[in-house]
Chain A
Amino acid sequence: MSIIQVKNLKKTFGTNEVLQGIDLTIAKSEVVVIMGPSGSGKSTLLRCLNFLEEPTEGTIRIGEFQVDAGGNKNRKRKKEIRELRKITGFVFQSFNLFPHKTAIENVMEGPIIIHGTKVEEARILAKALLTKVGLGDRCDYYPAQLSGGQQQRVAIARSLALNPMVMLYDEPTSALDPELVKEVLQVIKDLAREGMTMIIVTHEMNFAKDVADRVIFMDKGVIVEQGTSEEIFLNPKEDRTRQFLSIVE
């Protein structure tokens, strides 16, 4: 069974229809890269999957939790959205680490608050995850004392701490200096190899070629075309895709 299923997802800001009915199915362990020009709706799509934006219409299912768009904000629906978020890791362009907590405290926060894990257990888990992203020696640093690449790796560890079924990345390397991009992409690649299901919005073409099982090209709120990275990068069928690729490359 697919792990993510999106049906007819629409999102309107005022009169601007940013998502015009997106259908998307993602299988377990699949790595999907979403590309497209700015304003194409790719970030909005990702944010809708986590209900950071409330979609206008459509249905989203992640794992066993299905939430319909546009419902009222009653307690039951809020709880469903929380359940859906708990099994979804979200990595932001601007990291959004908690600045008043150390790296390890950032990672411990989720298990303690969401899963009710005991502090000592959470610390062991967090230490292991920070080691996994190559920051085992930075546990007690505050975010302000870390480089952008290190901060983003802590953010990934923070998401992993909740043992998510799916990881969503919203331009994870766009805020980084060029020399720091690689270390973050390496962590994401390692996760892909371990079989993590991931959706990644990015402009990193080479990375997409390396890691993506499927590349989706979006423009003006619709999926223009999708396929393997070879299909999209070497033989794009649509003019819009070709145009975009010629600008990016």
Chain B
Amino acid sequence: MDVTIIIDSLPSLLKATLMTILLAAISIVIALIIGFFTAIVRILKVKILNGIATTYVSIIRGTPLLVQIFVIYYGLPQIGISLDPISSGVVALSLNAGAYLSESFRASILAVDNGQMEASLSMGMTYSQALRRIILPQSLRIAIPTLSNTFIVLIKDTSLVSVITVTELLQMSSLIIAKTFEPLTIYLLAAAIYWVLITFFTTILDKLEVRSSKYLVR
């Protein structure tokens, strides 16, 4: 193992890490929006949309992410929808994480005691006022641990996008290995970067969980 190889390849790897972060960040934002609305549609049992939402969640959770990526990148062009690799990656990752997040949101909203909704309604609030002011703030706290889990998985899953030629962290590692023939060093380096990245995000979310739970402390 040669230290100079680490020093030489680190700049490229860190640059590729930015692509990993970019993929994860955009996908998380889109996934949160998809997940939230899917959960609301399913809880309110909105006509037609509920069926679509349920099918979406079922299909996404019932198929491998890699297959979803292939369908979007290699399959869709056949019906005239061509996305570049990065967009394909973002679409696949957000649809995937969105389905899992919708289940977390749904469970966490349903986990809030029914008495909270009754108390809000009995005051004369509308359903959406009650949801916004009383139910969602409480369900968010319940959701944070599972959200945190989905975020971790999403960051790791960005590595799958390497198969459609997006030069993110894993793809870059493979490119460097092709030149240096040092798979152990480079892959361990990549692993270390993933680990730092994920530890950073989990620490933030843990802090958020503690903060949002302050009202439960006696």
Chain A residues in contact with chain B, CB under 8 A?
50, 52, 78, 82-83, 85-86, 88, 90, 92, 94, 96-101, 109-110, 113-114, 142-145, 158-159, 162
Contacts and interface: CB of A to CB of B under 8 A. Distances in A.
Given A92-B119, A94-B115, A96-B116, A162 B124 contact: yes
Interface string B116-134: 1011011111100100011
A248 B215 CA distance: 39
A94 to B, nearest CB: 6
B interface majority secondary structure: helix
20 contacts: A82-B124, A83-B124, A85-B122, A88-B122, A90-B119, A96-B115, A98-B116, A98-B134, A98-B138, A99-B138, A99-B216, A100-B141, A109-B133, A113-B123, A113-B129, A114-B124, A142-B215, A142-B216, A158-B123, A159-B123
B117 to A, nearest CB: 9
B217 interface: yes
Nearest to A161: B123
Contacts of B126: 78, 82
B183 interface: no
Contacts of B141: 100
B75 interface: no
Contact of A100 (B115, B129, B215): B215
Interface of B: 113, 115-116, 118-119, 121-126, 129, 133-134, 137-138, 141, 215-218
A90 B122 contact: yes
A152 B122 CA distance: 16
A99 B215 contact: yes
The 7 nearest A-B residue pairs measured at CB: A86-B124, A96-B119, A96-B115, A90-B122, A85-B124, A142-B215, A110-B123
A42 to B, nearest CB: 17
A88 B124 CA distance: 9
A159 to B, nearest CB: 8
Nearest to B112: A99
B215 A92 contact: no
Given A86-B124, A144-B215, 19 more contacts: A50-B122, A82-B125, A85-B122, A85-B123, A92-B115, A92-B118, A94-B115, A99-B215, A99-B216, A110-B123, A110-B124, A113-B125, A113-B129, A114-B123, A114-B124, A144-B216, A158-B123, A159-B123, A162-B124
A98 B138 CA distance: 9
Contacts of A96: 113, 115-116, 118-119
A242 to B, nearest CB: 35
A65 to B, nearest CB: 11
Contacts of B129: 113
Contacts of A97: 119
B138 A100 contact: yes
A38 B190 CA distance: 65
Contact of B118 (A52, A78, A86, A159): A52
B124 A52 contact: no
A163 to B, nearest CB: 12
A82 B122 CA distance: 8
A226 B138 CA distance: 43
B178 to A, nearest CB: 54
Contacts of B121: 52, 85
